[in-house]
């Protein structure tokens, strides 16, 4: 719960650009492509961090790595606040994404040390609710600060709390049960017990990378996560601009409408974890498929609904957020890898997710700028990726 409380504020330094993007775009006269480049560097920076932080934290200390990432995130957001062009915002924000990744996969490894597979869905589901809460809090705080005091203030002040809480997290927590004299659990589920039975020499150095990247199930799961992030972060990237520009809403009204998306991200994960652990005996695949199909329908509806219909848009965004939040892909990665490779697996999975997320920011920005802003095409394309994801995950036994 200490990590959940800390993580509730982490997005103030990771994704705060999204709700204030209309203000930055208008103030600096940026194009859709320039907005896309800023988002891509932010997301790719986080993905690059994911590639290394999980493994480094497994080697040098999980909670230490989280604290370092928190402190550096605060500092780099302050640097970003002084940007005066797309490039002077994108570079420090991309580096902020890289260091902020240290706040994720090391902590996922910590959770895997304390919770076996039979209870892990619920543990990760509770965390998922807080990640949704983090998006909701960020949307409200950063958006409100930006609207009242300017977008620079949104980068400059709210992120400072992340560094303070990172230090508190380090002081309050321990990496493993053994660090406080408690016995380690014995994994009794075949899916996670098999990788945990590997000889220790296979997991030295780059061993976890070799084991995971040669596992076809894990490879498929990574690409499903990538396609999932095309939608998850595609929506949070473009929906505020869509309703601001095409719906004719003010920045305050846009925030009130689009905040329903992260609200859905908050509601769904505990429900998904409870169903998965208690009703489906820790099977994750059915929840991922349900997420894919429901969100595909919601995306097609968003594409067809007029953006001036605020009530209908609100309902569809809430459904879209809930359906995306049902997918327990982070839990899938830990289940496949077992606790000894959990940090590396969480990082690799997330790295794929952010590689795809950054790519969507570039691709959709080019589509919008070069072809006269055909917004329905963007949402239909997202729906197609969800159907592809459903087909892919059906081949992964988890």
CATH of the domain at 57: 1.20.1250.20
Low-confidence winner among 111-115, 194-198, 248-252 (lowest mean pLDDT): 248-252
pLDDT of residue 141: 93
Each residue of 333-348: pLDDT tens digit?
999 998 889 999 999 9
Instruction: Tell me the whole-structure pTM to 2 decimals.
Output: 0.86
Asked if residue 185 belongs to a domain, the reply is: no
* C-beta separation of 331 from 131 below 8 A: no
Whole-angstrom distance, CA of residue 75 vs CA of residue 212:
34
Residue closest to 326 by CA, chosen among 367, 368, 293: 293
Question: What phi and psi, each to the nearest 5 degrees, are found at residue 327?
Answer: -80, 115
Whole-angstrom Cα distance, residue 224 to residue 47?
Answer: 15
- Residue 373's pLDDT band, with cuts at 50, 70 and 90, is low
Is the pLDDT assigned to residue 81 strictly greater than 70? yes
What confidence score (pLDDT) does residue 370 get?
Answer: 75
Residue 206: predicted pLDDT: 87
Percent of the chain at pLDDT above 70?
99
For residue range 13-45, what is the model confidence (pLDDT) as tens digits? 988 898 888 899 989 999 888 988 898 898 889
Residue-wise burial string across 280-311, b where 16 or more C-beta atoms lie within 10 A, e elsewhere: eebbbbbbbbbbbebbbebbbbbbeeebeebe
Residue 10 pLDDT exceeds 90: yes
Q: Which domain holds residue 386?
A: 2-174+211-393
Q: For residues 48 and 352, give the distance between their C-alpha atoms in angstroms, rounded to a whole number.
A: 9
**Residue 200 falls inside a structural domain:** no
Average pLDDT over residues 125-130: 90
Which residue's entry shows tokens 């209908």? 312
**Residue 36 resides in a domain:** yes
Task: Using alpha carbons, list the distances in angstroms from residue 18 to 36, 57, 135, 314.
Answer: 11, 29, 10, 18
1 — pLDDT class (breaks 50, 70, 90): confident
List the one residue out of 230, 262, 263 whose CA is nearest residue 354. 230
Cβ within 8 Å of residue 155, ≥6 positions away: 16, 77, 78, 80, 81
Alpha helices in the chain (DSSP H): 2-7, 17-28, 32-60, 62-80, 86-100, 105-114, 117-149, 151-156, 160-172, 190-196, 207-213, 216-245, 251-258, 260-274, 285-304, 310-325, 329-337, 342-370, 375-393
Structure tokens at 70: 């928190």
- The radius of gyration computed from the CA coordinates of the chain, to the nearest angstrom, equals 20
**What number is the average pLDDT over the span 201-225?**
91
The predicted structure's pLDDT at residue 387: 97
Q: Of 96, 109, 114, 103, nearest to 68 (Cα)?
A: 103
Domain count along the chain: 1
Concatenated DSSP letters of 20-56: HHHHHHHHHT--HHHHHHHHHHHHHHHHHHHHHHHHH
How many other CB atoms are there within 10 angstroms of residue 112's CB atom? Answer: 29
DSSP 249: -
Tell me the CA distances in angstroms from 145 to 117, 137, 252, 376, one per residue in order: 41, 12, 11, 31
pLDDT at 327: 93
Q: So what's the pLDDT on residue 259? A: 80
Confidence of residue 281 (pLDDT cuts 50, 70, 90): confident
In this predicted structure, what is the pLDDT of residue 92? 96
Higher pLDDT among residues 90 and 186, named by residue: 90
Averaged over 182-199, what is the pLDDT? 85
Out of 181-185, 256-260, 313-317, which region has the weakest mean confidence (pLDDT)?
256-260
Asked if residue 188 belongs to a domain, the reply is no
Res 252 pLDDT > 70 = yes
Closest Cα partner for 288 from 176, 167, 394? 394
Q: Is the pLDDT of residue 129 over 70?
A: yes
Q: Which of the four pLDDT bands, split at 50, 70 and 90, describes residue 294?
A: very high
Residue 82 is assigned to a structural domain of this protein: yes
Helices 329-337, 342-370: crossing angle, 10 deg rounding: 150
Q: Is 27 left (phi over 0), alpha (psi -120 to 50) or beta?
A: alpha
| Mean pLDDT along residues 182-209 | 85
Is 57 contained in some domain? yes
In this prediction, residue 62 carries a pLDDT of 93
d(CA 239, CA 165): 30
**Does residue 307 form part of some domain?**
yes
CA 41 to chain centre: 15
Q: Is the pLDDT of residue 242 over 90?
A: no
Residue among 289, 356, 375 nearest 327 (CA): 289
Q: Are 21 and 192 in contact (CB under 8 A)?
A: no
Residue 204 within a domain: no
- Give the per-residue pLDDT at 271: 92
């Amino acid at each position: 719960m200490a990590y959940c409380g800390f993580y509730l504020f982490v997005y103030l330094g990771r994704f705060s650009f999204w709700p204030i993007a209309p203000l930055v775009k208008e103030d600096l006269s940026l194009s859709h492509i320039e907005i896309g480049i800023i988002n891509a560097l932010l997301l790719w920076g986080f993905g690059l961090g994911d590639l290394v932080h999980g493994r480094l934290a497994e080697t040098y200390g999980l909670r230490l790595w989280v604290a370092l990432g928190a402190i550096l995130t605060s500092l780099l957001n302050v640097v970003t606040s002084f940007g005066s062009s797309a490039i002077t915002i994108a570079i420090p924000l991309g580096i902020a994404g890289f260091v902020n990744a240290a706040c994720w996969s090391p902590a996922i490894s910590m959770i895997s040390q304390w919770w076996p597979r039979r209870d892990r869905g619920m543990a990760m589901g509770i965390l998922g609710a807080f990640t949704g809460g983090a998006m909701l809090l960020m949307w409200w705080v950063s958006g409100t600060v930006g609207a009242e005091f300017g977008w620079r203030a949104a980068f400059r002040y709210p992120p400072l709390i992340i560094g303070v809480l990172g230090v508190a997290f380090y002081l309050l927590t321990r990496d493993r049960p053994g660090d406080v004299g408690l016995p380690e659990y014995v994994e009794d589920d075949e899916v996670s017990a098999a990788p945990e039975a590997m000889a220790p020499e296979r997991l030295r150095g780059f061993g976890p990378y070799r084991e995971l990247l040669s596992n076809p199930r894990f490879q498929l799961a990574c690409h499903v996560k990538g396609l999932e992030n095309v939608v998850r972060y595609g929506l949070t990237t473009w929906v505020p601009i869509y309703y601001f520009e095409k719906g004719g809403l003010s920045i305050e009204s846009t925030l009130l409408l689009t905040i329903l998306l992260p609200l859905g991200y908050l509601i769904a994960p505990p429900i998904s974890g409870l169903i998965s652990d208690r009703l489906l005996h820790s099977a994750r695949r059915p929840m991922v498929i349900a997420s894919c199909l429901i969100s595909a329908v919601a995306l097609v509806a968003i594409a067809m609904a007029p953006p001036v219909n605020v009530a209908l848009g609100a309902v569809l965004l809430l459904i879209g957020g809930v359906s995306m939040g049902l997918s327990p892909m982070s839990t899938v990665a830990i289940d496949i890898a077992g606790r000894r490779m959990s940090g590396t697996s969480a990082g690799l999975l997330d790295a794929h997710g952010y590689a795809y997320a950054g790519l969507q920011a570039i691709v959709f920005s080019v589509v919008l700028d070069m072809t006269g802003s055909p917004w329905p095409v963007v949402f239909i394309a997202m729906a197609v990726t969800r159907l592809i994801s459903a087909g892919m995950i059906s081949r992964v036994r988890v």
